[in-house]
Amino acid sequence: MEYLMGLIRFPARTISEFLPFPESRTKAFEDDLLSFQKRWRKVAITTVVSVLTAVVILGKFPPVFLKPNTASLPMGELRHRMLERTSLANKTCHEYKNELLHHYAKWLGVKECWQTVDPLLLENPDVLVNRKQRLVWCKVPKVASTSFVHGLLRISDGGHLIDNRVHRSHLHMILRRLMPPPRANEDVRHFAAFMVVRHPFQRILSAYRDKFLDRSEREKFRKFKELYGLSIIAKHRNSKQPTEYRDVPTFWEFVQYLISTPVWEYNEHWRPYYLTCTPCHYHYDFILHLETLQDDSEYLVNATGFPELAPSHVHATRSKTVPEILPRKNGRDPEDKEQPEGARFKRQDLKNGMHLAEKDLLFNDSPPKHHQEEEGAAARVSHINTEAKFFSKIRYEQLVELYNIFFLDFKMFGYDLSPYDTYVSD
């Protein structure tokens, strides 16, 4: 700082000292010297301000060589978008602090007192911290989490595990070890923090299909059937369902379960964002939306300098997991008798190590970047059709009740009922 201030004071005094004959200075010379001094100070002050600003910024984000902008929007607009999103989250935290306190206290099982709740939320196990690279990420299931796990593993020297085809669930656990959550009294406010959200109803449907309809990973299917599926059927089945649903809840039944269950008892795969990420206790510099993920991640990469954070693959919900809307077929394979109609897959594909989602374009969790534009458009149309068919099974009153449960997420991250209110039955 002393050196920088010296730059501002430098010109007139130093030049005068080098003049051998001070008496030879004329009035014109003095005027020129004064004018030069003013110009120098203006340039020097601008330089000092720029340097200090850079120091503040680089204290939070590492220096990077920005790659050319390939996003559809200029970086300035994307920065404004992020500022609007973080501002909306902060505003919601302030407006609904009483409701949030009630939910946080119930979730944590403590009394409704911020002095008790605050320290516990600051040790959030879903907030993962890379202390070397000064990054914070809130891990939200069913929102491109696997893709960001891959990117953060590469940043955290765990990229070789991806190449060795370690199972997806194991990669998630490994990243938690490499990026442990904040410790008590640890200050990560100067780290670059980001989280990813999607429309709450879209996430609910994705979680339902992945956990209850997809039998390709038998251990996962059995786990969710025993923990939730059979109980949901016992409590909410009020009419006979097709054989395919004898041990699988329908989407209507799943929605009824959500409506009748306290939100703080939800599984992490459908737990609201405000509980999982506690955005009222962690300031997220980057709130990415799955609906605009390509541009948002481009901005994240340019701001942090980590190209690994650009999602190269978003885990897809298998398009075959739609038993409610596909006609029943005759002549089923006896080996497939336990699978809901439409949830079957070719065993040869798995023997060859081919993930069904990599072949199937009918329903991706986000528009596939690696397909041609017309194929991506077809996938999005099918995505909308599939959502409409599932949500047509529930009534508008149920949709409103579901909205009220996730109201804080809708408010905090700028979503509304559209277009799901057009899908439901009267």
Region of poorest pLDDT, from 32-41, 56-65, 264-273, 384-393: 56-65
Q: Specify the higher pLDDT residue, 352 or 38.
A: 38
Cα–Cα distance for residue pair 135/175, rounded to 1 Å: 13
Backbone angles phi, psi at 196, to 5 degrees: -130, 135
Cα–Cα distance for residue pair 285/107, rounded to 1 Å: 25
Phi-psi region of 111 (alpha: psi -120 to 50; beta: other; left: phi over 0): beta
Q: What is the pLDDT of residue 167?
A: 75
Q: Which amino acid is at 38?
A: K
**Could you give the 3-state DSSP secondary structure of residue 129?**
strand
> For 303-357, what is each residue's pLDDT tens digit?
999 999 998 755 444 444 544 433 333 333 333 333 333 333 333 332 333 232 3
Question: Based on the number of CB atoms within 10 Å of its own CB, is 343 exposed (0-12), middle (13-18) or buried (19 or more)?
Answer: buried
Strands 192-197 and 135-138: parallel
> For 176-196, what is each residue's pLDDT tens digit?
999 999 998 899 999 999 999
173 in Cβ contact with 128 (< 8 Å): no
pLDDT > 50? residue 101: yes
Q: What is the pLDDT of residue 377?
A: 55
Instruction: Look up tokens 């920005």; give the residue.
Output: 66
Q: What is the mean pLDDT of the chain?
A: 78
116 in Cβ contact with 110 (< 8 Å): yes
Cis? peptide before 419, omega within 30° of 0: yes
Q: What is the pLDDT of residue 309?
A: 94
